[in-house]
Amino acid sequence: MPVRPDNNGKQRCEPTFTGPSSSTKKETVNTALREVLENRRRALALTRLRAAAEEGAFELDLFEDKGNYRR
């Protein structure tokens, strides 16, 4: 934690994380595990999307054709 002087010249510690706080250790662990699971799901989805793109699952020519773009 960064140490900063207060108005009286004394040093005090300030927390750097300003996200949602948890009241118990169990809640903190569950929140961390939930975040890890969300990140893994996103990574897996991105991997599947890249594999599908390599296999030609998307018609990229449609995206490159600007003739019909925003009619």
* pTM exceeds 0.75: no
Q: Is residue 36 part of a domain?
A: yes
DSSP states of 49-61: HHHHHHTT-S-HH
Q: By percentage, how much of the chain surpasses pLDDT 70?
A: 65
Task: Evaluate whether 6 touches 14 at the Cβ level (below 8 Å).
Answer: no
Q: What is the pLDDT of residue 66?
A: 75
Question: What's the total number of domains in the chain?
Answer: 1
Residue spans of the chain under pLDDT 50: 1
Give the range of the structural domain holding residue 46, as residue numbers without chain letter: 24-58
Q: Is residue 70 part of a domain?
A: no
Q: What is the pLDDT of residue 47?
A: 97
* E strand spans, 1-71: 3-5, 11-13
